[in-house]
Amino acid sequence: MGSSKNLLLAALMAVLVFYLCSTSEASNFDCCLRYTEHILHPKFIVGFTQQLANEACDINAVIFYTKKRLAVCADPKKNWVRKAVQILSHRVKKM
């Protein structure tokens, strides 16, 4: 009888040890899902923000806001994206 009580407690403990929980409350965030194939010229870009995979969305991306009020998703690993980001940061610095 003692053993079955211990078994019960052990089972309960085992369940609780893995009892890491993080319920996801419905989160309807605007996210980038894919990257654009096109190269955007910085003169059409008015600003940018970064999307980080460790936050609410799950891929890393740079979001360029164009003069036509589009939010275009770009791959932060691509060279042109890095350069555009540098140019835009520089532009902000100069202001």
Partner 1 sequence: MSGEAVNFSTVFNFDEDYFGSGNTSDYSFDDDTLLCSLQEVRTFSGLFVPVAYSLICVFGLLGNILVVVTFAFYKKAKSMTDVYLLNMAIADILFVLTLPFWAVSHATGKWVFSNAMCKLMKGVYAVNFNCGMLLLACISMDRYVAIVQATKSFRLRSRTLAHRGLICVVVWAASVLISGWTFVFNQKYSVQGSDVCAPRYHERSDPIKWKLLMSALQLLFGFFIPLAFMIFCYMFIVKTLVQAQNSKRHKAIRVVVAVVLVFLACQVPHNVALLVTAAQLGRMNRSCHGQKVLGYSTSVTEVLAFLHCCLNPVLYAFIGQKFRSYFLKIVKDLWCVRRRQKAPGFSCSRLHSETFVSRQNSETVDNENASSFTM
Interacting residues toward partner 1 by CB under 8 A: 1, 4-5, 8-9, 12-13, 15-44, 49, 52-59, 63, 66-68, 70-73, 80, 83-84, 86-87, 90, 94
Which DSSP state fits 44?
G
Per-residue tokens: 88: 């835009």
**Smallest gap from residue 46 Cβ to partner 1 (A):** 12
Residue 72 CB neighbours (<10 A)? 19
CB of 94 to partner 1, least distance (A): 8
CA distances to 2, 23, 25 from 20, rounded to whole Å, are 29, 10, 16
Give CA separation, 95 vs 34, 66, 88, 92, in Å.
32, 19, 11, 5
DSSP structure class, residue 78:
S
Q: How far is the CB of 84 from partner 1 (least distance, A)?
A: 8
